[in-house]
């Protein structure tokens, strides 16, 4: 495949390296300072764009590719209020757009465990749920996209919690799920779900040891998306 890298930071660099190791070629590596290189590209030569940039840059990057018929695999977090407009554009152009808040297979297993546990806990009184995420200090958004996905997984199975909120306290509301965000270097991404009661605590966690899992997952999806159309997610890609 010929891959366009939109956002050549920590993730983009690792994705380019792993893509070449898997035999793919890189059409261009685009950052904020060389966006004019996009004008020199022939979209017909590009099989997929992998987009890991910044919250304020994601929409323009994704639009650029979808408008030119290039399938997009996006991992940028912190811009999802604008996702409906990208989905509309994708459908109107008969394009392909894939989004995941986390491309690691381990985290996607963790998402399923979280949903299973939240169903059990909904049947059990006396526990207070909370989410904690820990990332490196260069991260721009809080809470992490993964923490939001985990919170949504809890909320959809819980009869008492109505929404989530970002806080520095673990338990400060009966109807809103607290998410705490910590920024500690070099943490690539740790997520913890806690259910606490007077009698005991239940805790599940996922800890990424590096960015390898996120990067490889996005390349596997880029290989899989070839020839597909529509708005796609991990539920389409994974068989569990």
Ligand X SMILES: O=C(O)C1=N[C@H](C(=O)O)C[C@H](O)C1
Ligand Y SMILES: NC(=O)C1=CN([C@@H]2O[C@H](COP(=O)(O)OP(=O)(O)OC[C@H]3O[C@@H](n4cnc5c(N)ncnc54)[C@H](OP(=O)(O)O)[C@@H]3O)[C@@H](O)[C@H]2O)C=CC1
Asked whether 154 and 130 are in contact (CB, 8 A), the reply is no
Least distance in Å: CB of 88 to ligand Y?
21
Least distance in Å: CB of 175 to ligand X?
25
User: Rounded distance, CA 158 to CA 83, Å?
Assistant: 25
Among residues 24, 128, 135, 206, which one is catalytic? Answer: 135
Question: Which residues have CB under 8 Å from 118's CB, separation 6+?
Answer: 129, 153, 154, 156, 157, 158
114 binds, among ligand X, ligand Y, none (CB under 5 to 8 A by kind): none
Contact between 109 and ligand Y per CB under 6 A: no
User: Rounded distance, CA 73 to CA 234, Å?
Assistant: 11
Which one of 16, 72, 76, 134 is in contact with ligand Y (CB under 6 A)? Answer: 76
For residue 112 the two structure tokens come to: 């399923």
Closest CA to 6 of 44, 59, 45, 42: 59
Catalytic status, residue 139? yes
Contact between 118 and ligand Y per CB under 6 A: no
User: Rounded distance, CA 19 to CA 36, Å?
Assistant: 23
DSSP for 75-101, written as a single string: ---S-GGGHHHHHHHHHHTT-EEEE-S
Please give the residue whose beta carbon sits closest to ligand Y in the complex.
9
What mask of x and - would describe binding to ligand Y in positions 133 to 172, judged by CB under 6 A? Answer: ----------------------------------------
User: Rounded distance, CA 8 to CA 213, Å?
Assistant: 17
194 binds, among ligand X, ligand Y, none (CB under 5 to 8 A by kind): none
Question: Which residues have CB under 8 Å from 221's CB, separation 6+?
Answer: 73, 98, 100, 103, 237
Which one of 27, 100, 121, 193 is in contact with ligand Y (CB under 6 A)? Answer: 100
Catalytic status, residue 93? no
Least distance in Å: CB of 5 to ligand Y?
9
Q: Among residues 95 and 153, whose Cβ is nearest to ligand X?
A: 153
Among residues 10, 29, 83, 139, which one is catalytic? Answer: 139
Residues with a catalytic annotation lie at 135, 139
Binding site for ligand Y (CB under 6 A): 6-12, 30-33, 35, 52-55, 57, 61, 75-78, 100-103, 214
């Amino acid at each position: 495949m010929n891959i366009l890298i939109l956002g050549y930071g920590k993730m983009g660099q690792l994705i380019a390296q792993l893509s070449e190791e898997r035999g793919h070629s890189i059409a261009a590596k685009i950052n904020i300072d060389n966006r004019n290189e996009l004008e020199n590209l022939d979209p017909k030569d590009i099989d997929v764009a992998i987009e890991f940039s910044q919250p304020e840059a994601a929409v323009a990057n994704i639009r650029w590719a979808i408008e030119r018929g290039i399938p997009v695999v996006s991992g940028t977090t912190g811009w999802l209020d604008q996702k409906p407009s990208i989905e509309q554009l994708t459908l109107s152009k008969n394009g392909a757009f894939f989004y995941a808040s986390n491309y690691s297979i381990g985290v996607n297993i963790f998402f399923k465990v979280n949903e299973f546990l939240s169903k059990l806990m909904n049947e059990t009184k006396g526990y207070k749920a909370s989410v904690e995420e820990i990332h490196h200090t260069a991260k721009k958004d809080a809470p992490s996209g993964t923490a939001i996905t985990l919170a949504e997984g809890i909320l959809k199975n819980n009869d008492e919690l109505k929404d989530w909120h970002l806080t520095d306290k673990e338990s400060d509301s009966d109807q809103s799920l607290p998410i705490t965000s910590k920024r500690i270097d070099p943490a690539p991404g740790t997520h913890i779900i806690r259910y606490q009661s007077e009698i005991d605590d239940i805790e599940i966690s996922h800890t990424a040891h590096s960015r390898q899992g996120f990067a490889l997952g996005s390349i596997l999806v880029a290989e899989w998306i070839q020839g597909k159309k529509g708005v796609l997610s991990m539920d389409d890609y994974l068989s569990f």
